[in-house]
Amino acid sequence: MIDQIVYASTSSTGDFTPDLPDILRCARRNNPELGITGLLVVGGGTCLQLLEGEPEQLDALLSDLNTDPRHGHIVVMERRHAPSPALPGWAMGYSDAGPAESDLIAMAHDAMAGLPSDPGIIDRIVALARAVPDRAIA
């Protein structure tokens, strides 16, 4: 049994774009060793990230993210148990938030404003991951 988490975050600088290459490079290097898989969805200064793995590993990673100076505010939108990863083999996938993902970014803004989160956000991000090819950023 693993946990799945979706969190929303704002960029401390207002835009995650300049930090994306480093964020993805570090995640893709470190996550396999930690048994973590995931998908990062970025829309300017907001990101949503699905993380999957052992609860202890995810808690440690969330703790690290909360002290990462690139993040201004982090809110866990949904957390649940799952029998296995929905994205096996994905050290860290990536998707720009285009028009089809604008509702996900709007949900992130709502969550950061203290509004209730959609309890199906994990399923929506998994569906996005399966529909959109991963964009590699060098």
**SS3 sequence of 39-59:** EEEEECCEEEEEEEECHHHHH
Q: How many domains does the chain have?
A: 1
Q: Is residue 28 part of a domain?
A: yes
pLDDT at 135: 55
pLDDT at 137: 45
Integer CA distances (angstroms), 63 to 60, 68, 69, 126, in order: 5, 9, 12, 23
CATH number at residue 104: 3.30.70.100
Q: Is residue 91 part of a domain?
A: yes
Q: What is the extent of the structural domain holding 103?
A: 2-131
pLDDT at 119: 85
Nearest-angstrom CA–CA distance, 63 and 88: 23
pLDDT at 103: 87
pLDDT at 43: 87
pLDDT at 118: 81
Nearest-angstrom CA–CA distance, 131 and 88: 15
Using only C-alpha atoms, the chain has a radius of gyration, in whole angstroms, of 13
Q: How far is CA 85 from the centre of its chain?
A: 14
pLDDT at 136: 52
Helix axes 121-131, 102-112, angle to 10 degrees: 150
pLDDT at 8: 94
Tokens linked to 39: 């998908």
Q: Is residue 138 part of a domain?
A: no
Nearest-angstrom CA–CA distance, 79 and 6: 7
pLDDT at 48: 93
Which segments in the chain show pLDDT lower than 70? 132-138
Q: How far is CA 83 from the centre of its chain?
A: 19
Name the residue with tokens 């207002």: 14
pLDDT at 89: 85
